[in-house]
Amino acid sequence: MKPILKVAALEKQVKNKEKAQEKVHRLKVSLAAKERERNAVEERLSSAKLLDYLKERKSKLQHQNKEEQLILQDENASPSDREAAKAQVGEKN
């Protein structure tokens, strides 16, 4: 192969390598952006699950409090039921 052709072939290889490196860089940047987006979505999902759990827990506690208050106000409730309701209210406070 003539020296001029060798130089041209080497220059072409260098140019191709630079293009490939630029493409790899763009892909890495794109991947990093997608990872940040995925992490943000996962964090929002986790927060939503926690919020749903807390809402459900609040609802259950409110329901229990209503039941205990009804027992405490019920003159026909047995003494043991009233004591249990008092104990439950005391634990929560």
The Cα–Cα gap between 35 and 46 comes to 16
Mean pLDDT over 75-90 rounds to 84
| CA end-to-end distance (rounded Å), the chain | 92
The Cα–Cα gap between 49 and 44 comes to 9
Residue 51 DSSP code: H
Q: Grade residue 93 by pLDDT with cuts at 50, 70 and 90.
A: low
Which residues contact residue 84 at a Cβ distance below 8 angstroms, ignoring those fewer than 6 apart? 71
| Tens digits of residue pLDDT in 54-82 | 999 999 999 999 999 898 888 888 888 88
Percent of the chain with pLDDT over 70: 97
